[in-house]
């Protein structure tokens, strides 16, 4: 189709429809506020997704890519309905249910993460190998989410689980509090 016209250099990735072909690159300067490291890495994530799809024979479709781009460009966790809205253009609405399906794909392959305590989604900030799980630091004040990992935490958890005779399949670790930047701001008040 033809809905579009706003890409400039970049191709912020709309243009859905060439169905299954994906061109890469593109950076897209959107001016989202408070975007700490969003857009800079968005291209990287898309590139990673393309490599991954290639390697595993997956279909990294236009909708999935656009969804990934939207999530990656925003610095904060986004709800599925927010994503749907950002993906929609006057003539062409994207239904939330489609976004959910795209998000299912993306989370399944480790490209985005779901923040259970917020019902929202964030881009994966660093491809973790295998079962290496993430720790999310969610700031109460600015809403930013930082993703990190810790082999030490992983080990402690494994020990506790083994002791309980529990076989883990997925792990959720979400810490809510104040990020470093906001602690500074708090003092200034």
Residue from the set 81, 88, 176, 185 that interacts with a second copy by CB under 8 A: 176
C-beta atoms surrounding 173 within 10 Å? 15
Which residues share a beta bridge with 123? 112
Contact pick of 54, 59, 88, 183 for a second copy (by CB under 8 A): 183
Nearer to Zn ion, 94 or 134 (CB): 134
Should residue 166 be labelled a site residue for a second copy when binding is judged by CB under 8 A?
Answer: yes
If one asks whether residue 128 binds a second copy (CB under 8 A), the answer comes out as no
Tokens of 106: 């993306």
User: Near a second copy by CB under 8 A, which window of 7-15, 60-68, 98-106, 131-139?
Assistant: 131-139
Say how far apart CA 113 and CA 10 lie, in whole Å.
25
> CB of residue 98 vs DNA: minimum separation in angstroms?
3
Q: What does 72 interact with, of a second copy, DNA, Zn ion, none (CB < 5 to 8 A by kind)?
A: none
3-state secondary structure of 138: strand
Using CB atoms within 10 A of its CB, is residue 130 exposed (0-12), middle (13-18) or buried (19+)?
A: exposed
Q: How far apart are the first and last CA of the chain?
A: 51
Sequence ranges of the binding site for Fe cation: 154
Task: List binding-site positions.
Answer: 139, 142, 154, 179, 182
């Amino acid at each position: 189709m033809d809905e579009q016209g706003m890409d400039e250099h970049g191709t912020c990735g709309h243009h859905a429809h060439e169905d299954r072909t994906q061109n890469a690159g593109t950076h897209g300067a959107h001016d989202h506020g408070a975007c700490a490291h969003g857009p800079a890495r968005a291209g990287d994530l898309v590139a990673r997704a393309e490599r991954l799809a290639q390697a595993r024979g997956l279909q990294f479709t236009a909708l999935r890519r656009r969804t990934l781009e939207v999530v990656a460009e925003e610095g904060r966790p986004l709800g599925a309905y927010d994503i749907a809205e950002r993906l929609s253009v006057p003539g062409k609405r994207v239904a939330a249910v489609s976004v959910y399906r795209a998000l299912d794909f993306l989370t399944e392959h480790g490209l985005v993460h779901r923040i259970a305590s917020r019902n929202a989604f964030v881009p994966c900030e660093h491809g973790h190998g295998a079962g290496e799980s993430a720790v999310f630091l969610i700031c109460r004040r600015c809403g930013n989410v930082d993703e990190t990992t810790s082999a030490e935490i992983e080990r402690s958890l494994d020990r506790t689980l083994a002791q309980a005779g529990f076989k883990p399949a997925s792990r959720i670790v979400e810490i809510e509090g104040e990020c470093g930047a906001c602690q500074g701001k708090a003092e200034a008040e």
